[in-house]
Amino acid sequence: MINRNLNLSKLVLLLIIIFSFSCKSSKKMEAAKAQEKARIEQEQAAKLQKQKEEEARKREAEERERREAALRLKESQSTAMEPKAKLSEYFTAISKAANVTSANNSINEALTLFASPDTPVLIVIGEYGGKKDYDRPTTIREYLNYLKDQKKNSNAITNLRMDSSGKITEVELKKPF
């Protein structure tokens, strides 16, 4: 009987040891599963973050391209209008100059827009049946001095011809009717 009790107590002890190991290994397994789940969630969060960053970079690149395209369009439009606008500003500055020195300085600046000081200036005085009638041709130097003397700018720039270097080679003005 003692032997049997001893075997029984050994069996109980063995069961307790097995149970305690199984509880510990169960806890370890749960901890391992939790760690694996956390790692997977971190990987998914990192992937999601990477996707968001990539989408943001794509949006920024598209927006930058749109801004650059708009700027290129604006520059091309302003480049086409720039000589006309500048020349118009010079005409106004010369005709409204406070003194002769100021007018002469504006004339010299304006002449830098032209291929030559002898660039022809054509003034349209009428248009009949699609054909233009011009006043006596003059040069840009003479016209700028005329503006200085008359102190008024009543003619509007209708057309400019340019050479390959961007210099004005002909000016067409229109008298008000």
| Domains in the chain: boundaries | 74-174
Phi and psi angles of residue 173, each rounded to the nearest 5 degrees, phi first: -115, 160
The one-letter amino acid code at 108 reads: N
Quote the tokens at residue 75.
């520059």
- Give the model confidence (pLDDT) of 85-117 as tens digits: 889 999 999 999 999 999 999 999 999 999 999
**Closest by CA position to 81, among listed 157, 153, 147, 143:** 157
Give the residue ranges of the chain where pLDDT is below 70: 1-28, 73-81, 177
pTM: 0.55
Give the residue from 54, 36, 58, 35 showing the smallest Cα distance to 46: 54
Q: Which of 17, 153, 23 is nearest to 91 (CA)?
A: 153
Half-sphere exposure of 160 (CA within 13 A, CB side): 21
How does pLDDT run across 61-75, given as a tens digit for each residue?
A: 888 887 887 777 666
The helix (H) or strand (E) run that includes residue 158 is strand 156-162
Contact 126, 133 (CB under 8 A): yes
Residues 6+ apart with CB under 8 A from 37: none
Cβ neighbours of residue 96 under 8 Å, at least 6 residues apart?
Answer: 151, 153
103, exposed or middle or buried, with CB in 10 Å at 0-12, 13-18, 19+? buried
Contact 87/168 with Cβ under 8 angstroms?
A: yes
Indicate the residue type of 58.
K
List beta partners, residue 122: 172
Q: How far apart are CA 115 and CA 104, in angstroms?
A: 19
Q: Does domain 74-174 have CATH number 1.25.40?
A: no
